Amino acid sequence: MNFGENIQEWFSTQVGALFLVIIGAVAIYFLVKREFSKFVGFAVFAMVVGVFVFTPDSVKDLGAKLWSTVFGS
């Protein structure tokens, strides 16, 4: 039984749901106030944070592939 992995998976699921709710609320706020430039900036920031927090393995693999492409194996 992998107790630690189960807790990490549950916590990741809960934080992911909370993250999406917060992003949705802030996005709706910016759109209602018609602050489109702040909305776009926040959307880009949220996407970057989402990628780094929820899929760090993908970022690591992408960085390794980019490094090997630029500098060789």
Domain-wise residue ranges, the chain = 3-71
d(CA 16, CA 46): 12
pLDDT value of residue 1: 58
> Is the predicted pLDDT of residue 4 greater than 70, yes or no?
no
> Is the predicted pLDDT of residue 68 greater than 70, yes or no?
yes
Q: What is the pTM of this model?
A: 0.60
pLDDT, mean of residues 41-68: 81
Alpha helices by DSSP H, listed for 1-73, are 3-32, 36-54, 56-71
pLDDT value of residue 72: 77
Length of the chain: 73
Could you read off the pLDDT of 9-45 as tens digits, one per residue?
777 778 878 888 888 899 899 989 998 898 898 888 8
